[in-house]
Each structure stands twice: as C-alpha cells, then as structure tokens.
Amino acid sequence: MSRFLSNATNRIDAKGRVSVPAGFRAVLSQRGIQELYCLQDFIFPAVSVGGPDLLDRYERQIASVDPFSVEANRMSLLIHGGGVFMRLDAEGRLMVTDFIRDFTGISTEVTFVGRSDHFQLWQPQAFHEAQAAAREGRSSSRPG
C-alpha cells in the first residue's frame, strides 16, 4: 500500500519544525521521493506536498498551451513562482516557513492530510471545518 491516507496532527517546535507522520514518510521512501515539492492548493487554504512528479504534472499542463500566452505566464507564476522545494531533516521533520503559515493560517500545530498521491498541510481547525462542510454537501445531495 503506497498511498498517502488518513490524517494526523503534530506540534510545531520552538524552531518551527514539525514531524511528518511516520506513515507518510514510509510512503515517501517507498516511492523514492527525497525532494518535496510544495504548492498552495487552488481551492482550500492548504499546502500540497508531493514528489517532483507533482510538479511534472502541472508543467505538462503549461506545456499544452502557447508558452508566450497570458495563460501560460499565469500558470508558471503559480506553479514555479509559488512552488517550493523542501527536504526533510534526519528525523523526518520539515520547516514550517512563513510561506506555509501565511497561506494556511498554521501557527502551533499542523494537520497532515493524505490525498493518495500527495499529502497536505492544514491548520487543524480549518481542516475539520472543511471536512465537515464536504460531508454536509455530500449527504444532502446523496442520502444514505
């Protein structure tokens, strides 16, 4: 089973580091991912984290349009300019930078959320609310 699943909340220490859940680290090493590509989600106040293949997927989208177009320029601004490469330290922790804090509202704790081929960083409260809202939306349109 090599997918990012479930969620966990960990504390940020005095230096601004947080441990990536062991389960997620296992998936990373299983997939041979050493360099993490992080990007702000387009919909939720969350930062997506995955391997270079995550970036590749977005770049293929850019490549599909005229490289000098306004649309390509905008996409590159988000994907390249808004993306960040990160590495875990020896203990499997990552730095929670201002880049992450500002966009997610994270301050003292991080909720790691599995998304199959990548995972996300959420402010715990925001995650619970978004999840509750998603559940609402589904149960109202599809009872059962």
Partner DNA sequence: TGGGACCATATGGGCGTCAATGGGAATGGC
Partner DNA sequence: GCCATTCCCATTGACGCCCATATGGTCCCA
Binding-site ranges for a second copy (CB under 8 A): 1, 3-7, 35, 40-44, 52, 55, 57-59, 61, 68, 70, 73-78, 80-85, 99, 113-116, 120, 127, 130-131, 134-135, 137-139, 141-143
Q: Measured from the CB atom, is 14 or 64 closer to a second copy?
A: 64
Tell me the C-alpha distance between 82 and 39, whole Å.
6
Encoded tokens for 129:
């609310």
Of 82, 62, 60, 81, which Cα lies nearest the Cα of 72?
A: 62
Tell me the C-alpha distance between 112 and 139, whole Å.
25
Q: Measured from the CB atom, is 77 or 89 closer to a second copy?
A: 77
Asked if residue 93 binds DNA (CB under 7 A), the reply is yes
Q: Give the residue, chosen from 2, 5, 13, 73, that forms a contact with DNA under the rule CB under 7 A.
A: 13
Binding at 11: pick from a second copy, DNA, none (beta carbon under 5-8 Å per type): DNA
Binding at 25: pick from a second copy, DNA, none (beta carbon under 5-8 Å per type): DNA
Residue 38 buriedness (CB in 10 A; 0-12 / 13-18 / 19+): buried
Tell me the C-alpha distance between 36 and 142, whole Å.
37
Tell me the C-alpha distance between 141 and 129, whole Å.
19
Applying CB under 7 A, the residues found at the interface with DNA are 8, 10-11, 13-23, 25-26, 87, 89-93, 95, 97
